[in-house]
Structure 1
Amino acid sequence: MLRVKPFQSLPKQIRCRVWSLRGVMTPALKPNVPLDKIRNIGIIAHIDAGKTTVTERLLYLTGLTSVVGDVDDGNTVTDFMELERERGITIQSAAVTSFWRDHRINLIDTPGHVDFTLEVERCLRVLDGAVAVLDGSTGVQAQTLTVWRQAKKFKLPCVFFVNKLDKPGANFAMAVDSIEQRLSQRAAATVVPIYDPSNSKKVTGLVDLLAKKYLDLTNHKALWNNIDTQSHEFELLNRGREELFTRISDSDDEFGTKMLEHSGDLADFNQFVMFTALRKATLSKELAPVSCGTALRHTQSVVPILNHVLDLLPSPMERVVELPDAKFVGLVFKIVHDKRRGQLSYMRVYKGQLKSGSTVDNLNRETQETGLKLFTPFSDDFQASPIVTEGNIAVISGLKDTVTGDTLTQGKLTSSSILLTGIELPDPVFFCSVEPPSTASIHAFDRALKELVVEDPSLKTRYDAETGQTIVEGMGELHIEVFKERLLREYGLNVFMGPLQVGYREVIDAPATESAHVEDQFGDQKFKQSCSITLRLEPTEKDTKFTKLEVDLDESATQKYVRADWLKAASEGVKNALLNGPVLGFPVHNVKVSLKNLTASGGKVNPSLIAACANECVTKALKASGAHLIEPVMLVEVTVIDEAAEAGVNSVLQELTRRRGHICNVQQQDTQGHSIIIEARVPLAETSGIAASIRSLSSGLAFLHMQLLEYEHVSPHDQAVIIERYYQGRGKTDF
């Protein structure tokens, strides 16, 4: 008997060769696709909901691939990193262009893990709609809530796909109800399951209420077929349409009237009227269409999602975006580095078109970039393109000064031109030291850090002058692990990593006003320059970090006007000083800084002198005001299933309480009590090893998810303990 080895067990060289022969069929691009036939869509989900599996089926159905990619086999198109295929998770978003029914679909598969939330957000920023994938056995989960909030932030219409209906415990009605209860989004089924008459929990087929077809899930080669009017499927079609039309009518009186006026079976209802009303409800976010199926077991079950993308989600021309007054406008939302092409920038075109070899203006940096080359992305492969048109996503090489969130333009601008809204960067919650493997690798180490931070803005590095170490900051344990693995695999650097530590913040206790005076000599003539500044620091209740210096000059101020370049330099000095708080050197947040006075020697004072003076002034004010720590608190969600739902809940509750957790909610996911969700607030510092503990207490029948909730004040007693541990970790006893 011939035994075939799993794909991932093959040597890397063979795997790479197999991948190159897989046959990703790059389609012939159609540059003249009308704007109303373009769809920019993201696939979003909680981790392990089957998001990448759904994406692979969509690519296969559109003809982009000749073989269906599988996460377990490690041969997916969108999870192209070796690390992604080994772990079976999405780490980096991947953009792919395909075609369906004469439409161009620019699709982005996003990560599902909370540590890579920024990757999701910067993709949703440039998309026009989303497909949310749910696990049929759990419905809406913790990370679903996060990605849903991100989609709402950018006002994206959304369609849902309830996946894994073949999974034990799958419940389509429960999943739809979870959309309404947990996401506060009215939902309506557009595809309904057919259950086995002898087993009410076994799904044997699907009925597409819009296309009026059914699919036999027991035959993996089956295609969608027309429904016989004398069949059980026809009865389900009419019943399902009645429910769907009623849901549409709740927000569309005109459609409700036409429904009531219709005589005969709803299967014969006017298709154009139905699609028009459902599309209107979807685009206004009054209603979210819900399809279902099992992407892994039957590729055809995701066909309705492809049709939903075209029929129900918006084109670029249906999205309202405030744009700069220029003939071309684009937004860079992602950067990667390619060994052959160098730095590559992903850009969404909002207005006009861009040709290869063009020059663009960067509004954020106030610079020009020339000699650009354009590509159309197909995951990690790029097809050269002479032009990119409005509404599409392209990859650009040759952008040297541009970073994520920058606005690119062409043409004459007016004074009222605006920047496109960029990407909001989250603050890291973990940090650790990182050192190169040898002194000979320092140059390669520095280059690698620079490139990885440019690619992932949620990853930050800094130099600790006290210890002489480089510090890396990230969003979670997995984020830091992936950072280390990428240094090894992509740069050949087996770095030394210190223990993971919690990223606290510091806030001031009281207002303080301080002044500082700085003098220095510049130039060959040793011209003496001086600067005096007075600043006021005030605590704020809103959880924010410093963004700009407020001008609130005293009546006694010697100068009543502050030059723009002086104000910019002072702001930089303030910003740098707030990076190191007086308690343990953590960043200072929730503070308002006002400029009360600024005097300088002559009109040509060096801006660096103003920055240094502002830095010294803030440092003095921080010591005078007093400060204390605030710590990150996680929202911990534990889902306990089957036997553990009854026997293990109390043990889980005790474990969370032992970790300074506050239980927020305990609820049953179904009426039989076979699935119970526990929500708790737990300080991040107390979460070490929590996943292993929960698995042990529940005999492996519990799933845990954590995400940053907020920062809360640390008590004086806990702060003393934190300070002691911090200095002991640095080998200090006199603190």
Structure 2
Amino acid sequence: MTRTLNLGIVAHVDAGKTSLTERLLYAAGVIDTVGSVDKGSTQTDSLDLERQRGITIKAAVVSFTLGDVTVNLIDTPGHPDFIAEVERVLNVLDGAVLVVSAVAGVQAQTRVLMRALHRLGIPTLVFVNKMDRPGAQGEALLPSLAERLAPAVIDRGSVFFGSAITGQGITELVDGITNLLPAAAGDGPVSGMVFKVERGKAGEKIAYVRMFAGSIRVRERLDCGKVTALAVFDHGTAVRRPVVTAGEIAKVWGLDVRIGDSVGEPRRGQRRHFSPPTLETVVVPARPAERGALHAALAQLAEQDPLINLRLDELREETALSLYGEVQKEVIQATLVADYGIEAVFRETTMICVERLNGTGAAVEHVGGSGNPFYATVGLRIEQSAIDSGVTYRLGVELGAMPLAYFAAIEETVRSTLDQGIHGWRVTDCVVTVTHVKFVPPITAAADFRNLTPLVLMAALARAGTTVHEPTHSFRLEVPADVLGQVLAALARLRAVPRTTAVTGASALVEGGIPATNVHGLQRELPALTRGEGVLESTFDTYEPVNGIIPRRPRSDHNPLHRKEYLLHVVRRT
């Protein structure tokens, strides 16, 4: 009986992940020759940009057979700027192969990936690649694997050695994949998850769905739309099928979905672990006439990556884009030229801060009151809530006090207004309670509540006060002990805060926190500071209060903090 295994190949950039994918496809008879990353001839790096840069940017799926196992193999990005793409894929895997360079050993992204695999409970094999290279460590690397990855997970039986280029060790790895990793299984009602979205040649949306249970058919109606076509992966190509079943990965046409959405019943225990993007850049077209086309193109790219947020500043006619890093910015810039024919200018990258409340504030505007030009009464109270709780909205009045559409207008406006606090940053970790409402039939419209609510909410927010918090990363830095002094000085200059420093023989380990905006600077300085021997790991940790000059974000609304200015722009039409 044929089994299905959804297998992920993950690694630090340049460990040989895509080359291993090519070698496995060759071993399975899917391709006649092994493609080369350097020559841009690989099966899974199909984007022109991937071939040019020699890195994987988007997850790619190919299928092949190993004995009685049908393998859906997913090649994922290795660069940390694309970690969100990787984490989405991890949620749909049955097993994984973590590729480690025999020359470079365990690298920063290797540890990040292993922690994610362990957290999600995904059975993992380790393939130590590049054993044909000078300086390859071989089995001498085992103690480092056990110490720096996960001792409970890494044992000799799950570690394989070889070379994706020469084919050494591939037979043993294939045996490990078929015998040690579990096949897909699932019973029950229809349950699947969207892990990738792309657009077809005609602009149609295509969803990549991992089916956990049940089956879906062409022309079947689901909550998220009617299935118009289905395809599964078979020996390197997508083949149309009338039905897909549990365990399979399918391309599905006709669904109105985003990445992370469930198809049918949500999978039990399914959680998202994505760290938020902490950087932002303003994007403007090189040719002003293409402003609308640029925003539409960015909207499509954001659809493919829900963690890329767009913020439209209509007052300045600019679009801000959230990011994970500089390489991602360069890739988006190149994609706009290659796929949309749009040349865009990306301004200097800045960090994305948040505002948290200092206390409690309340305000109310009564209909007919002095200075209130709207036919509505709104009262709001805003107060602190737990860290990472987001925004909670509550009613402190009777639901029957006025039509539901007016309550909906207040809630929608509260949430959108909190996108820009006193200093222009998103306000989070707070509770907003409606304390007063009144309307005047038949004159009042929902627009009265939409226009009045920002004035009331910002007045309450000003009374509560806010503190700007900047995103910080936790870091782990290994350096030669003899350059520790210079490294600590550089960390101080970059506003990093070391929490622990330990020296063991000729090496030193520093752990602490650093503002997200300075991580790239540390990465850039590290080779010169440490003779190329420094190893840096960093991941988003939390938001910390800003010390020193408070950063402000230019407002893109009509500024309800300044009443006269706001009312000049927001006039009730009768």
Residue matched to 2:360: 511
Partner Cα separation in structure 2 for residue 563 and residue 314 of structure 1: 55
Which stretch has the larger CA shift, 69-78 or 335-344? 335-344
Q: By how many angstroms is 1:563 displaced? A: 8.2
* 1:587 is the counterpart of 2:426: yes
2:254 alignment partner in structure 1: 398
How far did residue 115 of structure 1 move? 1.5
Aligned to 1:299: 167
**Residue of structure 1 in register with 2:43 after alignment:** 77
Q: 2:379 aligns with which of 510, 514, 534?
A: 534
Query: How far did 1:628 drift?
Result: 1.6
**Contact residue 176 and residue 290 of structure 1 kept, 8 A:** no
% identical equivalent positions: 29
Q: Which residue of 1 aligns with 2:221?
A: 359
Q: Which residue of 1 aligns with 2:456?
A: 617
**CA distance in structure 2 between the aligned counterparts of 1:535 and 1:581, rounded to whole angstroms:** 15
Report if aligned partners of 1:437, 1:494 keep a CA contact under 8 Å in 2. Answer: yes
CA drift of 1:599 comes to 4.8
1:657 equivalent in alignment to 2:492:
yes
Letter in 2 for 1:708: F
- Structure 1 counterpart of 2:310, one-letter code: T
1:188 equivalent in alignment to 2:155: yes
Indicate the residue corresponding to 2:569 in structure 1. Answer: none
Deviations 1:560-583 (A, max 9, x none): 789876665443222211110101
Structure 2: distance between partners of 1:379 and 1:694: 43
Within-5 A mapping of 1:287-366: 289-296=158-165, 298-317=166-185, 326=189, 328-340=190-202, 342-362=204-224
Q: Is the 8 A contact 1:139 1:176 kept in 2?
A: no
- Report if the CA contact (8 A) 1:406-1:422 is conserved: no
In 2: Cα distance, 1:116 partner to 1:611 partner: 38
Q: Which amino acid aligns with 2:489?
A: Q
CA distance in 1, matches of 2:138, 2:487: 25
Q: Give the letter aligned to residue 44 of structure 2.
A: T
Q: Is the 8 A contact 2:72 2:233 kept in 1?
A: no
For the 8 Å contact 1:80–1:380, the answer to whether it is kept is: no
Distance 1:379 1:615 in 2: 56
8 Å CA contact 1:431, 1:501 repeated in 2? yes
The TM-score with structure 1 as length reference comes to 0.68
> Aligned partners of 2:380, 2:156: CA distance in 1, in Å?
59
2:146 and 2:155 in contact (8 A); partners too: no
Pairs aligned (count) = 549
CA distance in 2, matches of 1:485, 1:185: 42
Structure 1 match to 2:560:
none
Could you tell me how far apart the structure 2 residues matched to 1:343 and 1:565 are? 32
Rg larger in structure: 1
Does the Cα contact within 8 Å between 2:96 and 2:125 map onto a contact in 1? yes
Residue equivalent to 2:570: none
2:414 counterpart of 1:574: yes
- Cα distance in 2 for residues equivalent to 1:58 and 1:432: 39
Question: Would you say the 8 A contact 2:217–2:227 is kept in 1?
Answer: no
**C-alpha displacement of 1:516:** 4.3
Instruction: Report the 3-state secondary structure (helix = DSSP H, G, I; strand = E; otherwise coil) of the residue aligned with 1:117.
Output: helix
- Are residues 1:150 and 2:116 paired? yes
1:543 corresponding residue in structure 2: 388
Post-superposition Cα deviations, 1:344-384, rounded to whole Å, max 9, x if no partner, equal: 1111112222223433222xxxxxx2351112247995332
The letter of the residue matching 2:469 is: I
From 255, 279, 291, the equivalent of 1:430 is: 279
Change in Cα spacing, 1:151 to 1:445, as seen in structure 2 (3 Å) is same
* AA partner of residue 377 (structure 2): S
Structure 1 residue 602: deviation in Å? 6.5
What displacement does 1:335 show?
A: 0.4
Deviation of 1:418 (Å): 5.9
Distance in 2 (alpha carbons) for counterparts of 1:604 and 1:180:
71
Structure with the greater relative contact order (CA < 8 A, sep ≥ 6): 1 or 2? 2
CA change 1:189–1:666 in 2 (3 A) is: farther
Question: In the TM superposition, what is the alpha-carbon distance from 1:678 to its structure 2 partner?
Answer: 4.3
Q: How does 1:21-100 map to 2 (within 5 A)?
A: 34=2, 37-100=3-66
- How has the CA–CA distance of structure 1 residues 341 and 581 changed in structure 2, closer, same or farther, with 3 Å as cutoff? closer
**Which consecutive residues of structure 2, in runs of 5 or more, have no partner in the other structure?**
555-574
Whether 1:491 aligns to 2:356 is no
Deviation of 1:503 after TM superposition, in Å, equals 1.2
Deviation of the 1:185 alpha carbon: 2.7
Deviations 1:220-247 (A, max 9, x none): xxxxxxxxxxxxxxxxxxxxxxxxxxxx
User: 1:696 is matched with which residue: 528, 538, 543?
Assistant: 528
**How big is the alpha-carbon RMSD for the aligned residues of Structure 1 and Structure 2?**
3.3
Which of 262, 266, 276 aligns to 1:407? It is: 262
Residue 684 in structure 1 maps to residue 516 in structure 2: yes
Change in Cα spacing, 1:493 to 1:441, as seen in structure 2 (3 Å) is same
Residues 534 and 178 (structure 1), Cα distance of their counterparts in 2 relative to 1, 3 Å cut: farther
1:172 alignment counterpart? 139
| DSSP 3-state at the match of 1:56 | helix
Q: d(CA) in 2 for partners of 1:312 and 1:606?
A: 64
Cα separation, 2, equivalents of 1:49 and 1:179: 18
- Does structure 1 conserve the Cα–Cα contact (< 8 Å) formed by 2:191 and 2:267? no
Offset, 1:712: 0.9
Is the 8 Å Cα contact of residues 62 and 233 (structure 2) preserved in structure 1?
yes
Structure 1 pair 130/189, CA: closer, same or farther in 2 (3 Å)?
same
User: How far has the Cα of 1:84 moved from its partner?
Assistant: 1.7
Residue 124 (structure 1) aligned to one of 73, 86, 90: 90
Provide the secondary structure at the position in 2 that maps to 1:335. Answer: strand
Quick check: 110-119 or 658-667, which moved more? 658-667
Query: Which residue of 623, 627, 632 corresponds with 2:466?
Result: 627
TM-score by length of 2: 0.85
